[in-house]
Structure 1
Amino acid sequence: MAEQLHQNHRERVLEKFRRFGLDVFSDHEVLELLLFFAIPRVDTNPTAHRLLARFGSLHAVLEAPVEQLCEVQGIGPRSADLLKLSFAMCARYQQDVAKSERHSDKLNSYEKIGEYFVPQFAGEQDEVLLAAYLDGAGRVIKCEEVARGGHAHVPVDAYKIASGALICHAAGVAVAHNHPNGTATPSEADMLATRRLEQTLTGLGLQLVDHCVVARGKYVSICKLRTGQIGQRR
């Protein structure tokens, strides 16, 4: 019975985290939750309190050497390793975010979008449709091939593109396709497909940032063209 009550307590704590995140947790509750994954079938709440009493704060617990952590009652090598791994993951996360901020492509202008896509079509003999899923700042979260057609046509599957954007939690999408045997001038079918794609994305709260047509190292921005400007780079 006691074990069942303890299991129910763990499930309640986990459900609380799933619903609200860590913002509603006190520091000892954060440690209690984390220790669930290293210490099965034992109440980790007293251990969490002992850690904070020994080291004084959550960050000090995570920064403590393994040897000192293991001196706390209830903490063994596995628990200490988990605490150190959590701290290391936080550092790695911050490094990765900083790296992304420095190096990630920001597709926040028609020119940058064109320059981003043009090299990706080099040597292509088929028409290919690419979609770049963007965050709110225009950084590329992911770029993927959405469809591949023949020499003169590639389908623009608006729902597939929208699904990819939602999976990536994107704020916007930039798409591009090539005309391997022609010019970068958009066809009427390209213009219509762009309107349909834009309507689908808008209905889901997403932005179509641009649709580029690429041919022979040049590009035309359909979205820029629709504003009455010349979208071709020479």
Structure 2
Amino acid sequence: MGDTAKTASHMNGHRARLRERFLAGGADALQDYELLELILFLAIPRRDVKPLAKQLIDRYGSYAGVLSADVDSLRATAGLGDTAVAAIKSVQASALRLSKAGASARPVMSNWSLVSDYLQGAMAHIPREQFRILFLDRKNVLLADVVMSDGTVDEAAVYPREVVRRALELDATALILVHNHPSGDPTPSQADVMMTKNIVETCDRIGIRVHDHIIVGKTGQASFKELGLM
């Protein structure tokens, strides 16, 4: 058997063993780079993708970081074509849809752990500030999850009048403000405190309640309500 045939045989054997381990033991049976290999198998059928999977984990810091990476950033990675990028992003999209479905199943305030998990998955690894609002009905059931601003590495501008306008369009009676800190530290800044104060005051005037403002960091979240800031 020639070297090329031996390499192909070894690669196919590795892929088969990895699939068997996953199907028998689930995600816990694999390391992060191996789980990423499974995704890349589907998009890159004729190459050993283990080095690429390890490179991506190193570059983005974690499996979650790879899934959350920008499309343009992934496209700039040597060895990743559009098919592989689409495979990676489709896994993230599927995970977020599943998480969001669980978070939306019951009133938000009595289902907070699932809502928190969804927000962490959706926002923790975004390399720029994003501001979203969870609009709620009278029973605190989620009406809409709206990205209001997709900003820069340290700013995402949101104006109280835009918040109120969207709440009235949705017939929302309450809301939760959410944004991320790309630095990873969820500690509120003075600008965060002032912006929240302005939004709360504007919403109060028309009877819309702001339950909380959540800041999402890479390793956790900060709640304005729990910190006594609102």
- TM-score norm. by structure 2 comes to 0.51
CA shift for structure 1 position 105: 4.2
- Map 1:179-198 onto structure 2 (within 5 A): 179-198=181-200
Return the match for 2:166 from 164, 167, 170: 164
CA shift for structure 1 position 110: 9.5
Q: Describe the SS at the equivalent of 2:215.
A: strand
Distance in 2 between residues matched to 1:124 and 1:224, nearest whole Å? 24
The question of 1:176 aligning with 2:213 is answered: no
Structure with the greater alpha carbon radius of gyration = 1
Q: Describe the SS at the equivalent of 1:136.
A: coil
Alpha-carbon contact 1:119-1:217 (below 8 Å) kept: no
Return the match for 2:129 from 127, 130, 135: 127
Alpha-carbon contact 2:124-2:182 (below 8 Å) kept: no
Alpha-carbon contact 2:184-2:219 (below 8 Å) kept: no
Distance in 2 between residues matched to 1:163 and 1:174, nearest whole Å? 15
The question of 1:114 aligning with 2:106 is answered: no
Distance in 2 between residues matched to 1:189 and 1:158, nearest whole Å? 14
Return the match for 2:220 from 218, 221, 225: 218
Q: Describe the SS at the equivalent of 1:195.
A: helix
Provide the aligned length of Structure 1 versus Structure 2. 129
Distance in 1 between residues matched to 2:223 and 2:111, nearest whole Å? 7
CA shift for structure 1 position 114: 3.3
Distance in 2 between residues matched to 1:225 and 1:142, nearest whole Å? 26
Q: Describe the SS at the equivalent of 1:223.
A: coil
Alpha-carbon contact 2:133-2:177 (below 8 Å) kept: yes
CA shift for structure 1 position 120: 1.5
More off after superposition, 193-202 vs 121-130? 121-130
Q: Describe the SS at the equivalent of 2:171.
A: coil
Q: Structure 1's 144 and 184: CA in aligned 2 closer, same or farther, altered over 3 A? A: same
Alpha-carbon contact 2:193-2:229 (below 8 Å) kept: no
Q: Gaps spanning 5+ residues in structure 2: where?
A: 1-100
Matched with 2:153 is: 151
Distance in 2 between residues matched to 1:159 and 1:104, nearest whole Å? 29
CA shift for structure 1 position 123: 3.1
Distance in 1 between residues matched to 2:155 and 2:181, nearest whole Å? 8
Distance in 2 between residues matched to 1:123 and 1:174, nearest whole Å? 20
Alpha-carbon contact 2:213-2:223 (below 8 Å) kept: yes
- TM-score norm. by structure 1 comes to 0.50
CA shift for structure 1 position 115: 3.5
Q: Describe the SS at the equivalent of 2:193.
A: helix
Q: Describe the SS at the equivalent of 2:213.
A: strand
CA shift for structure 1 position 106: 2.1
Q: Gaps spanning 5+ residues in structure 1: where?
A: 1-99, 229-234
- Map 1:28-177 onto structure 2 (within 5 A): 104-108=105-109, 111-112=112-113, 114-177=116-179
Q: Structure 1's 163 and 188: CA in aligned 2 closer, same or farther, altered over 3 A? A: same
CA shift for structure 1 position 159: 1.1
Q: Structure 1's 222 and 114: CA in aligned 2 closer, same or farther, altered over 3 A? A: farther
